[in-house]
Structure 1
Amino acid sequence: MKAVVVYEAGGPDKLIYTEVPTPELKPGWSLVQVKGFGVNHSEIFTRQGLSPSVQFPRILGIEAVGIIAETTAPIKLPLGQTVISLMGEMGRSFDGGYAEYVLLPNDQIYPVHTALSWEELAAVPETFYTAYGSFERLKIKKDDNILIRGGTSGVGIAFLKLIKGKYPEITIDGTSRNYSKKEGLLQLGFSSLVLETDGKLQTKKKYDKILELIGPATVKNSFTHLKKDGIICSTGQLGGKWYLENFDPIFDTNNGYLTGFHSGDISRERLDALFAYIKRYHIDVRPEKVFSLKDTKKAHEYLESHQSFGKVVIIN
Structure 2
Amino acid sequence: VNNTEINTRIGWYSSLVTTGTEDAAVAEEDHATEKQDGGWNEATPFPFIQGTDCCGRIAAVAPDGDQSTIGSRVLVRACIRKSGFDAIDNIWMGSDFDGAFAQFVKVSARELFPVDCDWSDAELATIPCAYGTAENMVHRSKVCKNETVLVTGASGGVGSAVMQLVKRRGASVTAIAAKKKMEQVLSIGADNVIDRCEDLVSRLGENSVDVIVDNVAGPAFESLLKVLKPGGRYVSSGAIGGPLVTLDMRTFYLKDLKLIGCTSWDEPVFPNLISYIERGELQPLVAKIFPLEQIADAQKEFLEKKHVGNFVLIPPSVDD
Q: TM-score range by the shorter chain?
A: 0.7 to 0.9
Distance in 2 separating the partners of 1:128 and 1:201: 29
**Shift in Å, 1:147:** 0.8
**Shift in Å, 1:166:** 4.6
| One of 99, 112, 115 as aligned partner of 1:113 | 115
**2:175 aligns to what?**
174
**2:106 aligns to what?**
103
- Alignment TM-score, normalising by the size of structure 2: 0.74
Distance in 2 separating the partners of 1:266 and 1:153: 22
Q: How does 1:104-253 map to 2 (within 5 A)?
A: 104-107=107-110, 109-115=111-117, 116-167=119-170, 170-176=171-177, 178-197=178-197, 203-205=203-205, 206-215=208-217, 218-241=220-243, 246=247, 248=249, 250-253=250-253
* Paired AA for residue 74 in structure 2: V
Bigger proportion of residues as helix: 2
Query: Structure 2: 5+ residue runs without aligned partners?
Result: 13-37, 80-90, 316-320
- Alignment TM-score, normalising by the size of structure 1: 0.75
Distance in 1 separating the partners of 2:278 and 2:8: 33
**Shift in Å, 1:281:** 5.5
**Shift in Å, 1:114:** 1.6
Across the aligned residues of Structure 1 and Structure 2, the Cα RMSD in angstroms comes to 2.7
Contact 2:132 2:273 in 1 (8 A): yes
Between the two proteins, the alignment pairs up a number of residues equal to: 271
Distance in 2 separating the partners of 1:294 and 1:266: 34
SS at 1:186 equivalent:
helix
Contact 2:52 2:100 in 1 (8 A): yes
Query: Structure 1: 5+ residue runs without aligned partners?
Result: 1-38
Contact 1:68 1:79 in 2 (8 A): yes
**1:47 aligns to what?**
9
Distance in 2 separating the partners of 1:258 and 1:157: 23
Cα pair distance change 1:70/1:110, threshold 3 Å: same
**Shift in Å, 1:245:** 6.3
Distance in 2 separating the partners of 1:43 and 1:198: 30
Bigger proportion of residues as strand: 1
**1:262 aligns to what?**
262
Cα pair distance change 1:134/1:103, threshold 3 Å: same
Contact 1:223 1:256 in 2 (8 A): no
Percent sequence identity over matched residues?
24
**1:7 aligns to what?**
none
* 1:161-198: CA deviation from partner (whole Å, max 9, x where unpaired): 1233453xx5312113x322222222222233223349
* 1:202-260: CA deviation from partner (whole Å, max 9, x where unpaired): 6243212111111466443311111222221122222231x666552x54355143243
